[in-house]
Chain A
Amino acid sequence: MDTATPAAHISTRALTLGYGAQPVLRDVSFDIRHGEIFAIIGGSGCGKSTLLRHLIGLRQPLKGQILFNGEALPPPGGSAREALLRRLGVMYQGGALWTSLTLAENVALPLREHTALPAREINELVRYKLALVGLAGYEDFRPAQISGGMVKRASLARAIALDPEILFLDEPGAGLDPLTSRLLDELILQIRATLRTTIVMVTHELASIFATADTALFLDATTRTTGALGPPQTLRQHSPNPRVRAFLNRDAPP
C-alpha cells in the first residue's frame, strides 16, 4: 500500500464501500490535489453518491482508508472530527436546506455555530454569499417558497458560508436549465480561482464536466470499481475502457 503523496488533499486507498455487507464499490483509490476540481462521474446507480457520502464522513467504509492531508478522518463524536468537518462544505442533491429556517438563517447557521463573529458581520457575509449565487433580496424567504433551482443555489451559498477548504457538490447542475447550469459552472470556477478551494463534484452533466473538471473519476456500474481516472478530455479520446469513451461521447453503450 503506497502512502499518500504530500500534495494530495484527499486520498483514498483501496476503498470498499457499501450498505450492510453488500459492497456497492470495490477497490477505489485516487488522489485529489489541492485546488483541483475533481469530478466523480458515471451512469446512474454506479455508486457516485455513495462515494460522496463516505467522503464527507456520513458513512464508514467497509474497507480501506480516506485521508485528508494525509491523515485519516477522526472517529465520529470527537472535537478533532468536528474541526475537520467544519472545513468542508457540502451541497446536497436535493438542496437539503433546513426548511424551518429562512435562506439567510440557513446560510448563517454554520457561521453562527462555528465562528465568534458578531451578528452584524454574519449578516453581511450572508447577504454577500446569497448575492454571489444570485439570490440577493431573497434573504427572508423560506425554502418552500422558492423554486428548485433557487434551492440549489441557496444550498451552494450555505456550503460556501465558511469558505471551506474542500467543497463537495452532489449533482450541482441536475434539474437546472442550461443557462443557470452554466452560470453555476462559472461560479464554481470563480470560487476555485479566488479561494483555492478543492472541489469534488458528483455529476453526469457532460457540459459541466468538460467546462470545469481537471480530473474525472469514472465509476463503472458494471464492474463496480474505478473505470478510468484522468482529465476528462483525455479520457474522452483515449481511455482504454470503451464504456468510459461511450459515456463521455454520449455514444450508445458498447
Chain B
Amino acid sequence: MWNFFRRFSTVRAGNPAEVVLSGGGGRFVLALGGEWRIGNGARVGGGLDALCEALRAGRGGAARCVLDFSCERLGSYDSSLPAFLLALERRCEAEAVRCNREGLPEPVQRLLALALARPARGVDAEGSGVDCALVPADAALFLKLGTWGYASARSWGRALDFLGQVVLALLRLVRGRARMRWRDCWFFIQTGGVDALPIVALISFLTGLILAYIGAIQLKQFGTTQYVAALVGLAMVREMGVLMAGIIQCARTATAYAAQLGAMQVSDEVAALRVLGISPVEYWVLPRILALVITLPLLTLYANLCGMLGGLVVVTTMDVTLEQYFNMTLRAINVPNFTSGLIKSVFFAALIAWAGCFRGMVCERSAQGIGTATTTAAVLAITLVIIADALFAVLFNLVNFY
C-alpha cells in the first residue's frame, strides 16, 4: 500500500544500500537490499527521519504496530547495517513500534542483542543536580556566572589552603621536624639553577646591550656617553636582572615543577607518600621551593653582571674606556639599589616555586590535566611576579628605599 523508497547516493561501485518500506496499519515490512558498506552512502541519519515519517503516516492510528524485516536482496554488510538498525530500533521504541528481528541475518540479530543488552544510560534519578563541570554552552547566563564564581572561589580557597600547608611545612623545617631530604634540594639547585646559567647569561647580556643602545642614543646628544654605564648598571641591578632571571625561571622551573608534581599526582605517587604518613608538601614541595629561593638571588647577581657586560660591549664602540665604565657603574649603584633587587629575587623565587608546585598538586588526573597544570603554572607565576614587582616599586618609593 505504502511504498517508501529511498536510494542513497552511491560513492563506490556495487549496489548502493537501499531500504524499502511496505505495508500499513499495524504491520510493516522493511526490505533491506544492496551493499551496506561504510562509505557506500548508507547514511543513517536523514533516511531514518523520512522512514519514521512514513511509518507514522502509514500506521494511521493502529494501536499495535510491528515492523518485520526482509533481507532477500541484502548483499554484504559491515557495521553500517547494525548501526542503522540500532538507531531504527531506538526510534521505533519511542514510537511504540515493535521491531521483529527474526527476518534479519543471524549475526546481525546477535550483534543487536549485544548492543541492546544494557539499557542506554538515562537521566540518573540520584544525580539530578547540576554538575558544575558540565554546564552546556547554551546555559542561562546566571547559571554560567554562578558556576564560574563558584569555581574561582574554590580555586582561590585551594590556593590559600596550599599556601597554608607550605607555611606550616616551612615552620616544621625551621624546628627541624620536617621530613625533607637535602639531597633533593641539591638536585633542584642543579637542574633549576646551575643548568639555567647559559640562558640567563644570554638573555641578560642582550638586555644590557639593548638598554645601552637606548641610553646611548639619547646621551650622545649631550656628549655624556659615559653615563650609559650608570643607566645600565642601575636598571639591571634594580629591575631588569631580577625580572629577567625571574621570568626565565617562570618558564623553566615553574612549568617543570607543575609537570613533575602533576605526573606524580596522576600516577598516585602523591597518595602513596601521604598514606605512608609523610606529607607530600614537606617531601616534594619544600625542596623545590627552597632550591629556587636559594638559586634565584644568585642568578640575579649573575644576570646583573652579564647585563653590565652587555652595556660595556656597546659603549666600547663609543670611545668609553673600561676604567670609565667601571668607575661610573660603581658610582651609580648604591647599597639600597643593589639590595632591592636581591630582596625582590627572594620573594619572586617563593612566588614562582609556589605557583608551579600549587598547579602541580591540584592537577587533574589526566594527560590533559598535566598540560593545563603546566600552562597555568607559567601564567600564574609570571602574573604574580609582575604584580609583586609593581607592589615593590610602590613600597620602595614609600619608604624612600633607593
Q: Which residues of B contact A85 (CB under 8 A)?
A: 275-277
Q: Which residues of B contact A110 (CB under 8 A)?
A: 276
Shortest beta-carbon distance, A15 to chain B, in Å? Answer: 17
Interface-side segment among A86-94, A118-126, A210-218:
A86-94
Shortest beta-carbon distance, B166 to chain A, in Å? Answer: 14
Q: Which residues of B contact A53 (CB under 8 A)?
A: 271
Contacting residues of chain A (92-108) with chain B, CB-CB under 8 angstroms: 92-99
- Chain A interface residue count, Cβ-Cβ cutoff 8 angstroms: 30
- Chain B interface residue count, Cβ-Cβ cutoff 8 angstroms: 19
> Of all chain A residues, which has the CB nearest B279?
A77
Contacting residues of chain A (7-54) with chain B, CB-CB under 8 angstroms: 21-23, 53
Contacting residues of chain B (95-144) with chain A, CB-CB under 8 angstroms: 117-118, 126-127, 129
Residue B272, interface by CB 8 Å: yes
* Contact assessment for B267 and A113 in the assembled complex, using a CB-CB cutoff below 8 Å: no
Q: Which of B118, B263, B272, B277 contacts A92 (CB 8 A)?
A: B272
> Of all chain B residues, which has the CB nearest A88?
B275
Q: Which residues of A contact B78 (CB under 8 A)?
A: none
Q: Which residues of B contact A109 (CB under 8 A)?
A: 276
Per the bound structure, the CA–CA distance linking A224 and B124 in Å amounts to 12
Per the bound structure, the CA–CA distance linking A217 and B272 in Å amounts to 24
* Contact assessment for A97 and B269 in the assembled complex, using a CB-CB cutoff below 8 Å: yes
* Contact assessment for B179 and A96 in the assembled complex, using a CB-CB cutoff below 8 Å: no
Residue A81, interface by CB 8 Å: yes
* Contact assessment for A86 and B277 in the assembled complex, using a CB-CB cutoff below 8 Å: yes
Q: Which residues of B contact A113 (CB under 8 A)?
A: 179, 276-278
* Contact assessment for A96 and B269 in the assembled complex, using a CB-CB cutoff below 8 Å: yes
Residue A57, interface by CB 8 Å: yes
* Contact assessment for A94 and B275 in the assembled complex, using a CB-CB cutoff below 8 Å: no
* Contact assessment for B277 and A96 in the assembled complex, using a CB-CB cutoff below 8 Å: no
Provide the main secondary structure of the chain B interface: loop
Given contacts A82-B277, A114-B277, is CB(A98)–CB(B272) below 8 Å?
yes
> Of all chain B residues, which has the CB nearest A79?
B277
Shortest beta-carbon distance, A114 to chain B, in Å? Answer: 7
* Contact assessment for B274 and A58 in the assembled complex, using a CB-CB cutoff below 8 Å: yes
Per the bound structure, the CA–CA distance linking A24 and B263 in Å amounts to 26
Residue B273, interface by CB 8 Å: yes
Residue A56, interface by CB 8 Å: yes
Given contacts A85-B277, A113-B278, is CB(A99)–CB(B269) below 8 Å?
yes
Residue B49, interface by CB 8 Å: no
Per the bound structure, the CA–CA distance linking A86 and B275 in Å amounts to 8
Residue B72, interface by CB 8 Å: no
Residue B53, interface by CB 8 Å: no
Contacting residues of chain B (262-307) with chain A, CB-CB under 8 angstroms: 263-264, 267-269, 271-278
* Contact assessment for A57 and B276 in the assembled complex, using a CB-CB cutoff below 8 Å: no
Contacting residues of chain B (213-267) with chain A, CB-CB under 8 angstroms: 263-264, 267
* Contact assessment for B179 and A98 in the assembled complex, using a CB-CB cutoff below 8 Å: no
Q: Which of B127, B267, B269, B272 contacts A90 (CB 8 A)?
A: B272
What would 13 more interface pairs be, CB under 8 Å, given A90-B275, A94-B268?
Answer: A22-B126, A58-B275, A82-B277, A88-B275, A92-B268, A93-B268, A95-B267, A96-B268, A96-B269, A96-B272, A113-B277, A252-B117, A253-B117
CB-based closest 10 A-B pairs:
A96-B268, A82-B277, A85-B277, A96-B272, A92-B268, A90-B275, A56-B275, A86-B277, A96-B269, A98-B269
A residues lining the B interface (CB < 8 Å): 21-23, 53, 56-58, 81-83, 85-86, 88, 90, 92-99, 109-110, 113-114, 158, 224, 252-253
Some 12 contacts from A to B, beta carbons below 8 A apart, are A81-B277, A86-B276, A86-B277, A92-B268, A94-B267, A95-B267, A96-B268, A97-B269, A98-B264, A98-B269, A113-B278, A158-B272
